[in-house]
Amino acid sequence: MRSRRPTRRRENAATRPQSGRLQDLRAIGICASFRCAVVDRRAVVRTRRQGREAAVFRIFLRTGRAVPIQGARCEDAATRPQSGRLQDLRASGICASRFRSRELVVRTQRQGREAAVFRIFARSESARADSDLAHRSRVSRRQMRSVLFAVIAVASALAIPAWGSAENSPQIPAPPTVAAKAWYVVGEDGAVVAAQDARASRPMASITKLMTAIVTLERARLSDVVTVDPRAARVGESTVYLRAGQRLTVEQLLRGTLVRSANDAAEALALYVGHGSQSRFVAMMNAKARQLGLTGTRYVNPHGLDARGHVSSARDTTQLLRYALGTPFIRRTLASGHVEVPGDGDFPTTDDLLESWPPLIGGKTGHTAQAGWSETAGAEEHGITVYGTVLGSRTETERNEALETLLQYGLDRYRRVVAIDSGKAYAKASTGYGRPDVELVARRAAVRTIPEGTPLVVRVAAPTTVPLPVRERQALGSITVVAGDRVVASTKLVAASAVSKPGLGGKLVWYTKRTAHHLWGLVS
């Protein structure tokens, strides 16, 4: 009586990666015979994703495990995960019966725990592994198992980005909504983190003074002495109480303009640089705005008091701030908590967040009846820098809370990573004649800021063999690191140590040993 075959349980694919990537993976060819895969413990597998070749992997096996040995590398690392996750994977189970129908069910473990269940399909005839192919290849069941482990290693390597990103990159929350008419936040890479009506033209009040400072620094020296024009002394609102005929340096007036947001100081600088003409200075401001690409910005005066057509946008203002903070004097001045004006006293900054929120590195406030409460500022935390602007808040408190919330959200959207580790061997190259392999290490380390959830892709270009002799720190390859569509780091790969060229005697010994080993294999 025929024994009934046990019912095979359909594997649970609940942890399959999302977005259908797994279904698009196809093994289209194993470019190595089964025997070669067993003897050399190596298989070359080509993969296809969405109709195009995705990557070529060279898989190295250890007995009983589908784990790449040290020094193994991908031919094309475009889909290889970062931070050594590949070495943490272990194939813990396979539904081998399904391989006859060209479908593998693979269970994987990561750091001792089951990570995911994957179903891998092989459609190409060159990737068949049915009983007929096994018979023609004259392999034992043990050899067949080794080849299956090779396929498991490929499947695990290809599937890492899908489930690994879900585990290590938590879902990014939506940008917050704050009490302002417009806002804009960018990272130091220029990527937009949060935005609301960012291109709408609005009054920007005293944020105008950033451009006043930029134009002044381009056309005057800090040590220049300015005699305050009576027209400047008559400007009201926020002032440092300048008097007509008072003599101050450009540096002192700039500090009053940026720290105390003094309208009279800004007017005095404009009349000095514009040779007595405010309109001439304003023309310089607008020319600089066009040069910086501030397409939604138009200046009518140097201080920002309400005037018809005096507008900017949250985007333009943030871009202006980034440019201004690139000037060391402006960056230092905006971080100051007070300014002393000779003869007039000591004045505190208008930026309350400088004292109440430590990540703030400097900003420029603004307030008028038409503009509301506004500010543009930069923040830095753990080596991560972001820039942001809020325009049109109803109160000073709402403005401060809105800017702090948005900048903190921006800081949380980035992370600092070691893109290139100078102490890590990224490749190995053989040298021949029985001499030791050469480890290729990065010439320089690189630490970068990248958006949260963006994987790093490491691309290594290195030879598999090198001629002797090899000098220590000799350049032998290169490494490039990509985040998204941007190259974030690159450097040369150099030899970690020197390997000398053997003499004639050393070569004879190597040839003798190799010949003896070959003859012994033929006899056995």
pLDDT at position 169, please?
A: 44
Please give the C-alpha separations between residue 146 and each of 5, 25, 37, 181, 251, in angstroms, as whole numbers.
25, 21, 8, 64, 75
Instruction: Return d(Cα 414, Cα 434) in angstroms, integer.
Output: 47
Question: Which domain-ending residue is among 330, 360, 395?
Answer: 395
Provide CB contacts within 8 A for 487, sequence distance 6+: 480, 481
Q: Residue 117's domain spans which residues?
A: 22-168
The Cα 119–Cα 116 span in angstroms is 10
- Predicted pLDDT at 150: 40
Residue 365 and residue 496 in one domain:
no
Q: Exposed/middle/buried for 349, CB within 10 Å: 0-12, 13-18, 19+?
A: buried
Please tell me whether residues 204 and 155 are part of one structural domain. no
Say if CB 465 and CB 432 are below 8 A apart. yes
208 token code pair = 């105008």
Same domain, 200 and 148: no
CATH number for position 306: 3.40.710.10
pLDDT of amino acid 174: 87
Q: pLDDT tens per residue, the chain (524 residues)?
A: 444 444 433 333 333 333 333 323 333 333 222 222 222 333 344 444 455 544 444 333 333 333 332 333 332 222 333 333 322 233 333 322 233 333 444 444 444 555 444 444 443 333 333 333 333 333 334 444 443 444 444 433 333 332 223 234 445 678 999 999 999 999 998 999 999 999 999 999 999 999 999 999 999 999 999 999 999 999 988 999 999 999 999 999 999 999 999 999 999 999 999 999 999 999 999 999 999 999 999 999 999 999 999 999 999 999 999 999 999 999 999 999 999 988 788 999 999 999 999 999 999 999 999 999 999 999 999 999 999 999 999 999 999 999 999 999 999 999 999 999 998 999 999 987 777 899 999 999 999 999 988 899 999 999 999 998 999 999 999 999 999 889 999 999 999 999 888 767 666 666 666 676 666 766 65
Is residue 13 situated within a structural domain? Answer: no
Does some domain include residue 423? yes
Quick one: 391 and 422 in the same domain? no
**Cβ pair 485, 475 in contact under 8 A:** no
Whether residue 305 is found in the same domain as residue 432: no
Which of 116, 151, 168 corresponds to the end of one domain? 168
Q: Are residues 283 and 389 in the same domain?
A: yes
Asked whether residue 10 is assigned to any structural domain, the reply reads: no
359 and 458, same domain (yes or no): no
Could you give the residue numbers annotated as active site? 206, 209, 261
Q: Are residues 201 and 333 in the same domain?
A: yes
- Predicted local distance difference test score (pLDDT) of residue 439: 94
pLDDT tens across 376-410, in order? 999 999 999 999 999 999 999 999 999 999 999 99
pLDDT at residue 67, as a whole number: 32
Q: Whose structure tokens read 């303009």?
A: 257
- Please give the distance of CA 248 from its chain centroid, rounded to a whole number: 46
* Any domain includes 499: yes
pTM, two decimal places? 0.64
Query: Looking at the structure, do residues 216 and 361 belong to the same domain, yes or no?
Result: yes
Same domain, 439 and 361: no
Looking up residue 467, the CATH number of its domain turns out to be 2.60.410.10
Is residue 269 within 8 Å of residue 253, measured between CB atoms? Answer: yes
Looking at the fold, whether 219 and 258 belong to one and the same domain comes out as yes
CA distance 122 to 482: 30
Domain assignment present for residue 256? The answer is: yes
Residue 497 falls within a domain, yes or no?
yes
pLDDT at 484: 86
Q: Are residues 301 and 438 in the same domain?
A: no
Distance CA 143, CA 36 (A): 10
pLDDT at 268: 98
Domain boundary at 327, 360, 395, which?
Answer: 395
Q: According to the model, what pLDDT value does residue 270 have?
A: 98
Nearest to 156, CA basis, from 91, 62, 101, 96: 91
Number of structural domains the chain divides into? 3
